Structure 1
Amino acid sequence: MARAGDMDDYFKTTFEDKLLVKMPDRNSDHLTPATKLLEKRRETAEVEQALGTQKEEFSMKMEALQQRRDELERKEVKLKEQLFRFDAFVKESDLKRSRALKKTKGEQDLCKQKDKDIQRLQEEILKLSEVVNNQQAQISKYTLYQKFMDRVLEFTPEFDESREIITRYEALRQTRDDLLKTEITNQDTIESERAKLAKFIEDMNNEILHCNNELARLQTKLEDGENEAMKWDSEWTRIQTTAAKKTLLLGQIKMATHNLYVLVYKHLKKKIPPQESGETLLQLDKIQSFVKDLTEIVHEIKRHESASAPNMQLLASPRYN
């Protein structure tokens, strides 16, 4: 006979493997009503079969438990008889009596545990009955979809059974999902490329704006340079013109000075020294000295205007010899 723990494991395994509703691997939200109906029919048949097996096993377990209880009761009666018969002997053997009492208590606890297991199994039977009722209600609800699938098969000769229509639908749905995923991926790629293009255009516009600003700055700098160059060209032209005029004037002055210098030496009737022939400053000094002397002479002439003889003597003075 199975123990209480073995029975718990057995019912737990049976409940999880057979009685729970087994859902298909694919998402139930995408199943058609016909598919759900077929699944529910199959699951209901499995549940009813499992319930029948469970009922038989439960009956066998109940008989075994009853036999065990009867056997325990017989043992208890027999033990009591032996206790009364060998009262003196039991008193002398306290240790044996204590062990017997512990054994009896353990068996009584086992009986109580079995009673609890029976109560728990009855509750599970009630729950399973509710599950069966719910499954039957769902079967009644999905019967309408089964009729619809049957009518569809009448108008679609290329399909022989509902499973072919469901398979075709699943294939089309999967294809649609793949296309939607591809479309989403392509949209994400397009958005990413658009963002990159916008960023590139923005960067290029900023670069062009920067280049235009730099070009305007360089153009302004070029214009300033050209204006500065024109100003210095004008200044250079003016300097060249002034230098030419100054050079011409200097040449004229040198020529006039040389002519005066020659006139002075002609007047003095002397030969021009070679060292003074190209020295304008020396010539100017000679001219200045001659003009100074000549001025003094003129002043003396004016002072002695009435006396001509003394004036002639002054002109013949050894100072100019």
Structure 2
Amino acid sequence: MGPAAKDDVEHTMVLEHVNPTTRLLEKRRLMRETEETLDARKAEYKLKEQGFKRREEALKRKDLELQESLVRFSKFLQENDAKRTAAERKAAEEIKLRLQKEMEIRELTRMQENLRNDLDDAKDEVGRNLRYERYLTTVLEAPDGSYGEIQDLLNRHKTLRVTNEDLRARDAALNADADATRARLHAYTKRMTDERLNLNNDIAKLKKRLEAATLEVERARKASAADQQSSRNRTLEHGRAVAAAENLFQRCRQRSNATTWVTWGRW
């Protein structure tokens, strides 16, 4: 028990031994002290509550500031991501454009090289054609004078070349037709071979079915012959039994008539 509790107990024990007026005044004094203590605690609580509210408002302001900072930081990150994405896209486009230009440069270089080769080939062709020109000039200067101009020779050569191309085309067409005919013949032969194999297979199956049917007919014939023999045997036995019964019946009848005659004779 604490000191304050002991004092209250002792004070209560003292009040029990005083008169009621003193006791009432003492209780009123205690009530005032209690109320003053309660008011002081209320004021202290109010001060603490105000302090808590101030701390709460400060925390709210800090929270708002933190949220604003987070929003600004998020916006900053988004802007950075957008800038980074745009930079990466631009870099990719530049790389693609560079690769495209490099490919175009390589293609142009190749075309330039091909043109140079074509130019060299054309120069070589011109050099070779000069010999033909000299030859044609020599032919034109021949004593027989079959051709008056170089153009006549060229026209004749052109006609012969066209005729040769026509003959080559006809030969290619005939070869194509021959290849197509051989392909059709091969397909027909293969189809006939397959049909012959299928027919042989069908014939073999039909032979097996015929053999099986023949065996089945032979078994049925044997079974029918056995049934007929058994039927004949049963008919014979039945006839014998009927004949024996008829004979027995006749004998019994004869005996019956004889007995009846003797009896009537006695009467």
Alignment TM class, shorter chain as reference: 0.3 to 0.5
Structure with a larger share of its residues in helix? 2
Normalising by structure 1, what TM-score? 0.38
Which structure has more relative contact order (CA 8 Å, sep 6+)? It is 1
Normalising by structure 2, what TM-score? 0.45
